[in-house]
Structure 1
């Protein structure tokens, strides 16, 4: 088993504390630390960082922390603590920004459709606050209106965006390492395995087949930023002291 390196050890500790503390104190910190849509009253710029330490459940936390340990350890050993932390937070921040951009685009598209139906901004805000609307006036489908309400109210949590950056960096740095998953136990080289995971996220993010409330575009955003940074570093041997 790989040694637990300093940066990863501290990241795991902070994630566990941020997950356990609200449970032990019976507090809900979602409105403060989870990442909200910028138009939501609970949005704060700090949430791009704080949401990386929030998780929606114990399995969400366990899978992310396992991936951080398994794939991040060789990267920190190769890059060093400071460089790894810079990479990790850059990927996580990029994931949050891209996720926000995609969600805001989808939200604004529906918002403009409602304006074209004759609704005012205050009318739309009433819909967002109470989730009720007049079917005779609003001709958009129930699915579209449900998506509109969800985009506004559902915050994003988790380190998954940063983890996807780590996965991509691992594939670039150790392309021939053999990987396998529980439900697909056939070893595949990282240079093929990781792109397949990202392509599946892209598929689920663009279609209706996604299972559960998963922020696929945050995953893709983290993968994109992770690829750019890891590829640049590999080509230029960039150093952070």
Structure 2
């Protein structure tokens, strides 16, 4: 898979790769080396027993497995294709969304894929453990198709196709495979679960939803003493003699950054990330770290 235009997420080097993608690649590869290359069979089996995703009706299930299973893989090609997909579609998404939003999307779609897999296992009676980041990666694929629907991707390295149709084709393949290959060791419905959770999460964000606001309100309610009056919004004070807020950035500066970001994103939509200058890549990288 590649873009019609040369697409180089690394930009000026590995340091320009957005931090979440870079750290996910490092963590997944490190875990694979430890569990599949260095560890003896008994140690690997113990790790799988604790951190792979087991069915809820087995004695091995623990809630944390809904996160930990994403960092284990079943072989070299399993991790290779997952990390390739994460790199291919995730770099531009993280640059577009910012690191915090991308990380929350990745984890939520991975957890959602795990929940769907647990439901399917309970209905089918399968007790085999599930490993791999595929559910989250399929969520990232779905997001790429929604954010950049007209971007050209080469299907099977040969056929140019718009990203939105590429996503539909892969979703259809997973649905048919899940319905016709019930005995397969590939978690097709987990892949669909990642796409499903990704779709609803993006729609939620597009309508102005914000999970972080709920979390902040929850923390505030926990830290507030019983019977204490609710705190109002924190006032913004001006420094004497300046007439300007000491906590709020000037609207001109914020507007300038927003306008520049829009221009850069338009440029990415037209020619891909490789079309940016080194200075534009640096601005986008710095801006994404602030979000």
Which TM-score bucket, shorter chain as reference?
A: 0.7 to 0.9
Residue of structure 2 in register with 1:120 after alignment: none
Quick one: which of 208, 212, 216 aligns to 1:236? 208
Listed as ranges, the matches of 1:167-206 within 5 Å are 167-182=141-156, 185-206=158-179
Please say if residues 155 and 166 of structure 2, whose CA atoms lie closer than 8 Å, have aligned partners that are also in contact: no
My pick for the range that moved more, 97-106 or 230-239, is 230-239
Tell me how far 1:25 sits from its aligned partner: 2.7
Tell me how far 1:207 sits from its aligned partner: 1.1
Distance 1:45 1:2 in 2: 34
Listed as ranges, the matches of 1:96-135 within 5 Å are 96-107=114-125
Residue of structure 1 in register with 2:244 after alignment: none
* 1:16 and 2:23 aligned: no
Residue of structure 2 in register with 1:2 after alignment: 9
Tell me how far 1:232 sits from its aligned partner: 2.7
Tell me how far 1:238 sits from its aligned partner: 5.1
Please say if residues 202 and 216 of structure 1, whose CA atoms lie closer than 8 Å, have aligned partners that are also in contact: yes
Tell me how far 1:80 sits from its aligned partner: 0.7
Distance 1:44 1:172 in 2: 33
* 1:80 and 2:98 aligned: yes
Distance 1:239 1:73 in 2: 23
* 1:207 and 2:180 aligned: yes
User: Deviations 1:84-117 (Å, cap 9, x if unpaired)?
Assistant: 000000000000001101110222xxxxxxxxxx
1:208/1:67 Cα in 2 relative to 1: closer, same or farther (>3 Å)? Answer: closer
Residue of structure 1 in register with 2:130 after alignment: 156
1:181/1:59 Cα in 2 relative to 1: closer, same or farther (>3 Å)? Answer: farther
Please say if residues 35 and 155 of structure 1, whose CA atoms lie closer than 8 Å, have aligned partners that are also in contact: yes
For the aligned residues, what is the CA RMSD? 1.8
Q: TM-score, normalised by structure 1?
A: 0.76
Distance 1:230 1:58 in 2: 31
Gaps of 5+ in 2: 1-7, 11-16, 213-290
My pick for the range that moved more, 37-46 or 162-171, is 37-46
Larger Rg: 2
SS at match of 2:159: strand
Distance 1:97 1:21 in 2: 27
Aligned residues: 195
Gaps of 5+ in 1: 108-150
Q: TM-score, normalised by structure 2?
A: 0.64
SS at match of 2:149: coil
SS at match of 1:157: coil
Asked which structure has the greater RCO (Cα within 8 Å, sep 6+), the reply is 1
Moved over 4 A (4+): 237-241
